[in-house]
Amino acid sequence: MEIKILGTGCPKCKTLEKSTRDAVAELGIDADISKVEDIMKIMTFGILHTPGLVINGKVVLSGRVPSQAEIREILQKNL
């Protein structure tokens, strides 16, 4: 699974990154997690508000920080 966290480094972006990493570890998912901070690269995903969560090339969330339970649910749906 390839996961990208889209965000320029704001507190919400950092929170989403940490929560996603925690959920991946908790679920035991084999995932490559990367952080995309370049605004031009973020814009290629078509999101208007960060943070964004991209799984296997598909934007699954943007503009807010979900709960830990919601992140787990999103990850399980996209396995």
- For the chain, the structural domain boundaries read 2-77
pLDDT recorded at residue 31: 96
**Dihedrals phi, psi of 56, to nearest 5 degrees:** 50, 45
Could you give the residue numbers annotated as active site?
A: 10, 13
Question: What superfamily in CATH does domain 2-77 come from?
Answer: Glutaredoxin (3.40.30.10)
Q: Which residue has the tokens 């901070």?
A: 37
Render pLDDT for 16-51 as a digit per residue (tens, 0 to 9): 999 999 999 999 999 999 999 999 999 999 998 999
Quote the CA–CA distance of 54 and 45 in Å, as a whole number: 9
In sequence order, which residues have a C-beta less than 8 Å from that of residue 58 and are 6 or more positions away? 78
pTM above 0.85, yes or no: yes
The whole-angstrom separation of Cα 13 and Cα 72 is 17
Taking a C-beta distance cutoff of 8 angstroms, is the pair 49, 63 a contact?
yes
Block residue for tokens 């973020």: 42
C-alpha 43/C-alpha 66 separation (Å) is 21
